[in-house]
Chain A
Amino acid sequence: MAIPTDPTLAGVAAAPPADVAKADVEVALESLSQWQLAWRRFRKHRMAMVGLGFFAFMILVAIFGPIIMPFDPTNIPGTTNPAGYPPSLAHLFGTDTVGRDVFAMVVNGARISVAIGGFSMLIAGFIGVVVGAVAGYFGGWVDNVLMRVVDTFFAIPLLFVILVAAKFFGQGQVISLIVIFGVLSWPLIARLVRAQFLSLREADFVEAARAVGVRDGRITFRHILPNAIGPVIVAMTLIMASNIVLEAFVSYLNFGISANQTSWGNALANAQSALGLGNWWWAFFPGMAIAVTVMSINFVGDGLRDALDPRTRL
C-alpha cells in the first residue's frame, strides 16, 4: 500500500547508504528522522494522546498496583449482605457476594490482562512478520503454502480454537495462555507484511540493493521491512486489544487463568450469578476496566495509523 515514492521517507535509521545520502539532501530543511516526523503527527491526534496517557497509566497500575494494594482471591472476608456491599468509600467499586473488594480485583487484574495482551501481541508480531516476509519475498510455492496456512487460520473461528487450546493446554498458567494467544493471532500480521512485500520488492531501491549484490536476508530485514512496519504496528495494537478481550472471555468461562490468580476476565467469572441479587457493580467495574483499556489502545492505533503513513503530511 504505502509505496515510498518519496525517498526522504523511505529511509529509517537502518536505511541503505544510497538512500541516506539522498535523504540527507532532501530532509536537510527539517532534519527530522522518520520517527520524529511520526511523533509530530501523532501528537496532533488528540484522542490518540489521551489513549496513550491512559494506557501508560494502566501499565503503571499493572506494575505497581499489586504491590500497593495486594489482593488474594483465596482470602474471603464474608459479608452480612447476600449481594455484597455496594460501592462506598470503604469499597470504591463495592464487593462481590463473598465480600472481596472489587476495586482491588480490578487493580490486581490489570497485571495479568495487560501482560497477556502485550506479550501475546509481541509473539504474534514476531511470527507474523517472519512468515509474511518469507512468503512475500520468496513468492512461488513457499508463498502458496504459507498463505494456505493463513487462510486456514482465517477460516476457523478463532474463539473455538482458543477455548479448546486454553482448556486443554493452558492449565490456568499465564505463560501458556500468552503463548496460545500469540501463536493463534499472527495470521493477520503475516497477510499484511506479505502484501507490503509484494509491492515493495519491485521498488527501485530494492532493485538497486539487489544489483549491488546485497543478500536476500539483508534486503528483507534492512531494506524492505522498515518500510513495511507502519501498518504492522497498527495491526499489532488491534491484536493486543482483541487478545485482552479474548482473555477476559476465556477466563470468564473459567477456561483461562486459574481461580487463585486475578485477571479482569477472572474477576467477572461468577459475576453473572450475582446480577439477579441486584449486584451490578461486580460485573460492571472489571468490564469497564477492559473496555476503557481496549478503547485507549484502539485510539493509539488510530493515531499510529495516521502518524506512520508516510503519505500523511504535517
Chain B
Amino acid sequence: MTQYIVRRVIQAIPVLFLISVVSFLLMLSAPGGPANQFNQNPHISAAQINKWLQDWCLVQNPTPLDTVREYLGWLGVWNCSGGSFLSVHGLPNFLPAFLGGGTNGILHGDFGYSIETGQPVLGMIYQRLPTTIILMGTAFVLWATIAIIAGVIAAVRRYSFFDQSVTFVSYVLYSLPTFWLGLILIFIFGEALRWFPVQGMVNVRTSAAPFATQAYWQSFFADPIPNIVDIASHLVLPVVTLIAVSIAGDSRFVRSAMLDSLHQDYVRTARAKGIRERQVIIRHAFRNALLPILTNLALEIAFLFSGAIVTETVFSLPGMGRLYYDGVENSDYFLLMGILLIGSVLVVLMNLLADIAYAFADPRIRYD
C-alpha cells in the first residue's frame, strides 16, 4: 500500500513539472510577451514596470538562455534579483522562505501581477474563488447524485421504458454544445418565461455590494436567508447548463458499471440466500459498482473546470472561468499562467486522491 502511494506521488511529480513548463511556454511564446504587455499598459508606472521586470528576470527580446532563466525565476528556483540559484541567505532559492530560501516565484506563492490591473494575481483569483466553488460544488453534488440514481435504476430495470428514455435523453444531451444549451435556457426561462435571472451571481439592484467583496459578506451574514435565495435563483440556469451534458455520459457509465456488478456471482449468491432484492441491489451490487464510478467522477473534475469557463462566460458569473476569459481577452499572461497552473494542479491532486482512495477501498488492487 505505502509503496503504491509513493509510486503514484512520484509519478505525479513529472506531471506537475510538465504542467508548469506547458503553462509557461504557452504564455511566453505567445506574440507580444509579458515584457511588452507591461510597457503598453498606461495604468502602471515606469518604476513599477522596472521593478517587476527585474523581479521576474523579464527582458524585452529574450534569447533562449533568458527564457530558461525567466522560467526558473517564475518557478522560484532562480533568484532573479540576485542572479543566482542561491537566495540572499546563501541557501538554495527553492527552499521555503522560513528555511532561508527566496521569496520569488510560484514555489513561494508569488504568482506575479496582473498586467491589466497591476494587482497580485493570487489576490484576484482568491476573490473569484467563491463563485467558482459554489457553482462547481453545487453542480458536482447534483450531477453525481442524478447520474448515479438514473444509472442504477436504468441498470436494474434494463431495457425498460425508463432505461430506454435515459439512453435516448443521454444521447441527445451528450451531443449538445454546453454554451448553446445555456443560450437556449436563457431564452426560454430568462427572457420568455422570466422565471430566473440570466446574469451574474446576485441581484445588483438589491444586494449591498458586488458579490464576494467584504461588504457583501457582511450584509450576507447579517441576513443570510434572502441572500441565499438570491444566489440560488441566479445559479439555477448555470448549474443546469453545466451538468446537463456531463450527466448524460456519466449515467451511461454508472449503468454499465452497475450491469457488470449485477452479473457477478456474489449478487447471485445474495439472491440465493433470500435477501430482499432492494438490499441485494444497494448492499451487494451498488457498493461494488461504486468504486469505478467514484474514480470516473474524480477524473471528470477537469471537464468540470472547462465547463465552468463555458457557463461563467455565458452567464457572466464573476468566477475563475470568467476571469480567465477576461485574461485571454487582455493577454494578461501572469493571470492566465496562474489560473492554468492552479487549475491543473488541483486536477492532478484530485486524481491522486481518487487513486489512493480507490486503493484503500478496493483490496483487490495490488501493484508491482
Residues in chain A within 8 A of chain B (CB atoms): 148-149, 151-152, 154-161, 163-165, 167-169, 241, 245, 248-249, 252-253, 255, 268, 271-272, 275-276, 278, 280, 283-284, 287, 290-292, 294-295, 298-299
A291 and B180 contact, CB distance less than 8 A: yes
A272 and B183 contact, CB distance less than 8 A: yes
A2 to B363, alpha carbons, bound, how many Å?
Answer: 27
B306 and A160 contact, CB distance less than 8 A: yes
B174: chain A residues within 8 A (beta carbon): 298
The secondary-structure label for the interface of chain B is helix
Partner of A169 from the list B23, B30, B302 (CB cut-off 8 Å) is: B30
A107 to chain B, nearest CB (A): 18
Closest to B351 in A: A155
B26 and A161 contact, CB distance less than 8 A: yes
Of B78-86, B201-209, B287-295, B338-346, which binds chain A? B338-346
Give the interface size class of chain B.
Answer: 35 or more
Closest to A276 in B: B191
B327 to chain A, nearest CB (A): 9
B180 and A290 contact, CB distance less than 8 A: yes
The secondary-structure label for the interface of chain A is helix
B179: chain A residues within 8 A (beta carbon): 248-249, 252, 268
B196 to chain A, nearest CB (A): 14
B351 and A275 contact, CB distance less than 8 A: no
Residues in chain B within 8 A of chain A (CB atoms): 11, 14-15, 18-19, 22-23, 26-27, 30-31, 171-172, 174-180, 183-184, 186-187, 190-192, 302-303, 305-306, 309-310, 313-314, 324-325, 328-329, 331, 336, 339-340, 343-344, 347-348, 351
Given contacts A287-B184, A295-B175, contact A155 B30 (CB under 8 A): no
A163 to B186, alpha carbons, bound, how many Å?
Answer: 23
Closest to B188 in A: A280
A159 and B331 contact, CB distance less than 8 A: no
Given contacts A152-B15, A163-B324, contact A241 B175 (CB under 8 A): yes
A291 to B348, alpha carbons, bound, how many Å?
Answer: 31
A148 and B14 contact, CB distance less than 8 A: yes
B178: chain A residues within 8 A (beta carbon): 245, 249
A241: chain B residues within 8 A (beta carbon): 175
B324 and A160 contact, CB distance less than 8 A: yes
A152: chain B residues within 8 A (beta carbon): 15, 18-19, 22
B303: chain A residues within 8 A (beta carbon): 157
Closest to A282 in B: B183
B180 and A268 contact, CB distance less than 8 A: yes
Closest to A302 in B: B171
A295 and B172 contact, CB distance less than 8 A: yes
B306: chain A residues within 8 A (beta carbon): 157-160
Closest to B13 in A: A148
